[in-house]
Every structure is written in structure tokens, then in C-alpha cells.
Structure 1
Amino acid sequence: MTDIFTRLKQDHDRHREMLDHVADTSGDTKERRESFEQLRIDVSAHANAEEQSLYAEMLARPDLQDKGRHSVAEHKEAEDYFEDLVDMDFGSTGWLTRFKTLKERLEHHMEEEEEEIFAAAKKELSDERAQELAKIFDERKPVEKQEVA
């Protein structure tokens, strides 16, 4: 069975591909709008489900609270970028500049999670708990996708 860390990394890899794809689009096109919206929904649903699984667990553990709080704050920051971008002119240079900032922030966040946050959590969580958290994540993500769409 897959553990939470493997499951989240799978999403991160897909998000990196989606970010690159949106960055490669230009102008206010159907492709840019649809690709961006797919990214927004998937990243938001991922973050929400991650908070209800891994980060809920981390926030309940004193040794992991600071790292959990840090990541949840970065999720909020990404959400703010998405909200700004939805309201901007998709064909403007300002939109692309803002999107590139979001892309850099998300890539930093995913790298930080994979290299620091997950490593710290792995030390504290049993294999069984890591698998249970993956199950919770997989149950929550489709629900969250419906809610953020």
C-alpha cells in the first residue's frame, strides 16, 4: 500500500508538469484558461486534502507543529496567488509575471516538503500511520476537487 509521502510526491510531479505547461502557453487563449483552471483545482484540492491528512497529524504533534504551520501558511499564499490570477487579464504580461511567481513559490514549496517536511514526519510516523494518511488523502481529494471547482 502507498504511504502519504509517495502519494503526495505523485501529485507534486504532476503539478510540476502542469505548471510547465501553463507557463508555455501565451495570450488569453482557451488552452491557457483551461490548463490554468485544471492546475488551480488540482493544487487547491491537493492542499486541502493534505491539510486534512498529513498536516492535521503534524499539527497534533508538538515536534512537528512548526513545520506543519509553515506549510499550511504556504498553501494559503498559493491560494492568494490563484485568486489574483483568476481576476487578471490572461493575455497581459502582468498575468504571466504573476503566474511565474506562483510557479516559483509552488516549486519551492514542493521541494521543501519533499526534502524537509516529509523527512521530519517520516521519523515520527509509523509506516501504518503513513499508509492510513494516504487513504484519508485519497478519500478527501475528490471531495475537495468538487468543492473548489
Structure 2
Amino acid sequence: MNTQTTVLERLETDHNRQRELLDQIAKTEGDSEERRRLFTELTKELKSHAAAEEQAVYSEMLADPEVSGETRHSVAEHHEIDEMLNDLAATDMSSPGWMLKFKSFDERYRHHINEEEDDHFPDFAEQIDEKMDKEMTKTFDERKKAEKAEAEVTPEKAEDAKE
């Protein structure tokens, strides 16, 4: 029996951690140190996860006609999510608008990861053999660590924040 974590299980573990961070941020108020710390942690987590996921898994799945459409869809959503994160970073955390944007972001991001887990990952699992899985997992872990070390909160200019 194979007890090694698969790359898709590894991605779901990250998703669960991201859900926890979203829940914690939702409980914060105003421009607090806790909100800033959690938002920075979430941003670094999401950016490094998306980059590593694209490099380790999506790069392989794009080449497979069976799942390339789903893969392109997820990559496009990563770009939308990144833009929403940047907009949140540009918004004054003490304003009521910040939490409204955050709630919209939270809903959008949860939709994305639920869609990946429920729709895409089962299809990907059919395309990934054991050897490919080991390589993807290794690449994901290496890239995530490197990407997280480089990730930062990158706000749009405050004057460019969406209303």
C-alpha cells in the first residue's frame, strides 16, 4: 500500500490551510496587526501555492488534451485571484469597503478551490501515474518553498483600488 502523499492530496492540504486563514481573517476588525499579519500570510501562501501548482501540475496537464481545458480555466482563475489580492492590498484595511472586498474575494477563492477539488482533481488523477505523481510532488514542494520565500504583498496603487 502506498502511504506517500500524492500531489493532489498535497494541494488539498494547502487548500485546507488557506480556508483556515480566510476564516481567521474574517474574524478580524479594522487595520489591526492581526489582520495585517494574517493577510500577509494568506497572500504569500496563495501566491506560492498558485505558482508551484502551475509549475508542477498544470504544466503537465496542459499537455494532456483530456484535461487541458480545465487546466486553462484554473490558470485564468489564478490570475483573477491575484488581481483581487492586489486590490485588497491597496484598500485601506480600516475602511468598511475592505471587509466587503474580502468577503467577495473569500467567496471567489473558495469557489476556485472547491471546483479544483471536486471537478478537476478527479480528472487529473486519471492522467497521473505513480512516477509522474512523485515528480510532481517533488517539484511542487521545491517550487512552493522557493516561491514563498520570494512572495510579497503587492498592492495596486491606492488610487487604483476598485470602489
- Specify the TM-score bucket, using the shorter chain as the normaliser: over 0.9
Aligned to 2:155: none
Aligned to 1:104: 107
Match of 2:23 among 6, 20, 23: 20
CA distance in 2, matches of 1:71, 1:135: 21
Aligned amino acid, residue 129 of structure 2:
S
Mapped to 1, the partners of 2:131 and 2:141 lie a distance apart of 15
Q: Give aligned pairs, total.
A: 149
In the TM superposition, what is the alpha-carbon distance from 1:11 to its structure 2 partner? 0.3
1:37 equivalent to 2:45? Answer no
- Aligned-pair identity in percent equals 44
**In structure 1, how many angstroms separate the alpha carbons of the residues matched to 2:56 and 2:143?**
8
**Are positions 1:146 and 2:127 aligned together?**
no
How far apart are residue 73 of structure 1 and its match? Answer: 0.6
Q: List gaps (5 residues or longer) in structure 2.
A: 153-163
- Determine which structure has the larger helix proportion and give its number: 1
Shift of residue 131, structure 1, vs aligned partner: 2.4
Q: Deviations over 1:80-111 (max 9, x none)?
A: 01100111100111110101111111111111
| 1:65 paired to 2:68 | yes
**Cα deviation 1:42-70 (Å, max 9, x = unaligned):** 01100000000110011111111100000
TM-score by length of 2: 0.89
Q: Which runs of 4+ in 1 moved over 2 A?
A: none
SS in 2 for 1:27: coil
Opposite residue 69 of structure 1, the aligned amino acid is R
Separation in 2 of the partners of 1:114 and 1:132? 20
Q: Report the equivalent of 1:90.
A: 93
Partner letter of residue 99 of structure 1?
F
Do the aligned partners of 1:2 and 1:131 also contact (CA within 8 Å) in 2?
Answer: no
Q: Secondary structure at the match of 1:26?
A: coil
| Offset from partner CA, 1:23-44 (integer Å, 9 cap, x none) | 1101011110110010000011
Aligned counterparts of 1:112 and 1:127: Cα–Cα separation in 2: 24
Which letter maps to 2:66?
D
Aligned Cα root-mean-square deviation (Å):
0.8
Q: Does 1:54 align with 2:60?
A: no
**Hey, what's the Cα distance between the residues in 1 that align with 2:16 and 2:101?**
22
Which structure 1 segments of 5+ residues have no match? none
The 3-state SS of whatever aligns with 2:40 is: helix
